[in-house]
Chains A and B, each alone.
Chain A
């Protein structure tokens, strides 16, 4: 189904850290999807998918938050999530979290209409050329949740391939974790940092000016280390590149 023949109402899920710290990511998504002719619905009261509690083992507390998400998104036509990690939570982990509860079916239904942003563009809408122009050398970091839970390796690269004047240089170990891992980063900061150092070094070795990803949480980790190292390499979210013209 091409974008031109069918316009949808897309419900955006903007997680807390994107809302608070990376609003440009969400804004870029709105611009891109509206430019394609779709209507955006943004449920303002949804801010968290419940992943931090879930990953820490506190499933009851996670369900308190996730139940609201489930109820509010019940009737959505399609849900686009501004993070591979939160996307994995809604799409892959909600069915686990709500298994053997009255909401089990709701969770399954929601899972089937959730998309991480790049997956939505490339696979659901079938659009890869957004007319963007970004004259720079970039390297792409695969966020683990997007890559392994959602199986999204190709969409981001297909989208980047169509960006004018952009040169993608793949880094060694693009699929190696950046070390963020949510609460892991705070619980085991020394391990998290060591992993981040390896990631930064392999990105730096490409000579790229930007490290691109479709997960702002990975980029927060990488940028945090780069800034501390006074490394001039910048991080940028895929949506921000695609919104440039």
Chain B
């Protein structure tokens, strides 16, 4: 159980010492901030837009049962097969079943964090199928056999040179630092895969209850090809993706693009409502929608934190988080990294295993301030801490805070502690910054202030 926290600490130490890596991430996210601010300014009233979005998602999540049944019924009316998966395992089995039934060999996939969440690619590959990621960033990390670094920018941690080397090694291409040429290399490799793929798997950005439609937003056209070319299309999505009405997209599409990538709107915005209908010339013969719970309903049952289900996976909270910017995406070792990941992972994968992410925060609140759907992220981190300490307190910590309370509530005792701090200060110099230093966690990298001879209270008393 402890290994998750140990691994987190080891990785944090490693990345924080890699100045080049930190610089790369901070530069990239600095550019994002400039673009985001430009696009935010195009909204008549960004705070009001956030409020409207939060209210819409509140409505969607608080009537989730109704919206989901409406959504499913309308999809089914057009011949879509809707599957309900309560766990990751069920979802994998459902998808494997569909793929086997369609006698598929190769699968093309567009970006889906839910697929990462249920480790879908591993399951499909293990069962002998070829799966190819078609989003450029995802394709790159897939070739590297890595998890996505960021919810929205999966390969943001790599330089052009590193991508060129990867392509040369894996695809036999000539080295190049030109982004256009690199894209063309991936494009040539991927075009062939679209044509030969038997099944296309996509995620979803929104699920429209009113019309029974999936909304997918993207910048590369790869999700469109994934949906259009193979005979069988599968969409995997979390149940929280619901929006009540089609017109809600008028707010949510520009908002997602702005908060997520600093764009006014993503390049391609598509709606899918079913398989090829009679008289239509294209589209898949079969369309399957897999709705994933995977403990989202547990989060729904928590009145304090259910607004975490408002999340539209824009990644804005990662982008502004000073922790994320200094430790990077892989250090979290979770599907969802950054503040939203630290909030929901304990709910999805176990509080005691993942509570360290809630503690690994200065609670600065930059995430909450930026979240387009107003999730109270940093306060949820506090609640996770409280819940974990209640459920399984650390004995040393509990004792420390009990003792501290005794000292703080007794002025005489506090005065003695103060006097001792002053007395021990010269001795502290002998061990300062070494392993013997009781304040090593601080003094390893930072100096401590000198304790002055006269405290505020001493001074106050001289006036009396």
Which residues of A does B touch, CB under 8 Å?
14, 16, 18-23, 25-27, 30, 42, 44-45, 47-48, 50, 52-59, 61-62, 64-65, 68, 144, 148-149, 175-177, 179-182, 184-196, 198, 220-221, 223-225, 227-228
The answer, yes or no, to whether B362 is at the interface (CB within 8 Å) is: yes
**Which residues of A lie under 8 Å from residue B456 when comparing CB positions?**
14, 18-19, 23, 25-27
CB atoms of B446 and A56 under 8 A apart: no
Within 8 A of A (CB), among B254-268: none
Q: What are 23 residue pairs bridging A and B, where the CB atoms are less than 8 Å apart in the complex?
A: A16-B414, A25-B456, A42-B460, A44-B411, A44-B457, A45-B411, A56-B397, A58-B397, A59-B390, A65-B405, A144-B366, A148-B365, A184-B363, A186-B441, A188-B12, A191-B12, A193-B445, A194-B22, A195-B322, A195-B326, A220-B449, A221-B446, A225-B446
Nearest first, the 6 closest Cβ-Cβ pairs linking A and B are A181-B362, A57-B389, A224-B446, A57-B385, A177-B364, A148-B365
Asked if B143 is an interface residue, CB under 8 A from chain A, the answer is no
Using A191-B12, A198-B26 as known contacts, say yes or no to A47 and B401 having CB atoms under 8 A apart.
no
The answer for the CA separation of A22 and B363 in the assembled complex, in Å, is: 23
Q: Is the CB of A194 within 8 A of B326?
A: yes
- A224:B447 contact, CB within 8 angstroms: yes
Q: What's the minimum C-beta distance from A186 to chain B, rounded to whole angstroms?
A: 4
Contact A176 B452 (CB under 8 A): no
Contacts of A182 in B (CB 8 A): 362
- Cross-chain contact B408 with A65 (CB below 8 angstroms): yes
In the assembly, what is the distance between CA of A148 and CA of B451, in Å? 30
8 Å CB contact of B385 from A27, A47, A56: A56
Residue of A nearest to B422 (CB): A20
* Contact, CB under 8 Å: A193 / B16: yes
Q: Which residue of A lies closest to B397 (CB)?
A: A56
Beta-carbon nearest neighbor of B369 in chain A: A148
Q: Give Cα A133 to B456, complex, Å.
A: 24
B185 on the interface (CB 8 Å rule)? no
Please, how many angstroms separate the alpha-carbon atoms of A225 and B444 in the complex? 10
CB neighbours of A57 from chain B (8 A): 382, 385-390
Task: Give the one of B17, B451, B452, B457 with max A CB within 10 A.
Answer: B457
Is B402 close to A, CB under 8 A? yes
Chain B residues lying within 8 Å of A65, measured Cβ to Cβ, are 404-405, 408-409
Contacts of B446 in A (CB 8 A): 193, 196, 221, 224-225, 227-228
B421 on the A face (CB < 8 A): yes
Q: Say which residue of A22, A52, A64 sits within 8 Å of B449 (CB atoms).
A: A22
B359 at the interface (CB under 8 A from A): yes
Interface of chain B residues 4 through 63 with chain A (CB within 8 A) = 9, 12-13, 16-17, 22, 26
- In the complex, what residues of A have CB within 8 A of residue B451's CB? 20-21
* B-side contacts of A21, CB under 8 Å: 449, 451-452
Do A227 and B447 touch across chains, with their CB atoms under 8 A apart? yes
**Considering the chains assembled together, what is the distance between the CA atoms of A175 and B362 in angstroms?**
13
B234 at the interface (CB under 8 A from A): no
Tell me, yes or no, whether B153 is within 8 Å of chain A by CB: no
A52 and B445 alpha carbons, distance in the complex (Å): 22
Name the B residues within 8 Å of A184 (CB-CB). 359-363
Contacts of A198 on B, CB cut-off 8 Å? 26, 322, 325-326
Once the chains bind, are B364 and A144 in contact (CB under 8 Å)? yes
Q: Which listed residue (A20, A45, A180, A194) contacts B16, Cβ 8 A?
A: A194
Cα A182 to Cα B9 in complex, Å, equals 18
Assembled-state Cα–Cα distance A155/B455 (Å): 27
B316 vs chain A, min Cβ distance (A): 15
Residue contact B449 to A188, C-beta cutoff 8 Å: no
Q: Are B449 and A223 in contact (CB under 8 A)?
A: yes
Known: A20-B451, A193-B16. A58 touches B445 (CB 8 A): no
B1, CB-defined interface residue at 8 Å = no
Enumerate chain A residues within 8 angstroms of B398, measured Cβ to Cβ.
58, 61
**Interface presence of B459 (CB below 8 A):** yes
Chain B residues within 8 Å of A42, by CB: 460
Contact yes or no, A61 B402, CB < 8 A: yes
Check B386 against A48 for contact (C-beta < 8 Å). Answer: no
Given A61-B405, A177-B364, A194-B327, 12 more pairs with CB closer than 8 A: A23-B455, A45-B411, A50-B408, A53-B401, A56-B385, A57-B389, A61-B404, A181-B362, A181-B363, A185-B362, A187-B359, A198-B322
Give Cα distance in the complex from A58 to B322, angstroms: 25
Question: Out of B393, B411, B421, B445, which one reaches A228, CB within 8 Å?
Answer: B445
Closest to B359 in A: A187
> What 0/1 pattern do residues 429 to 454 of B give for CB contact below 8 A with A?
00000000000011011111101101
Q: Which residue of the partner chain, among B362, B411, B421, contacts A20 with CB atoms under 8 Å?
A: B421
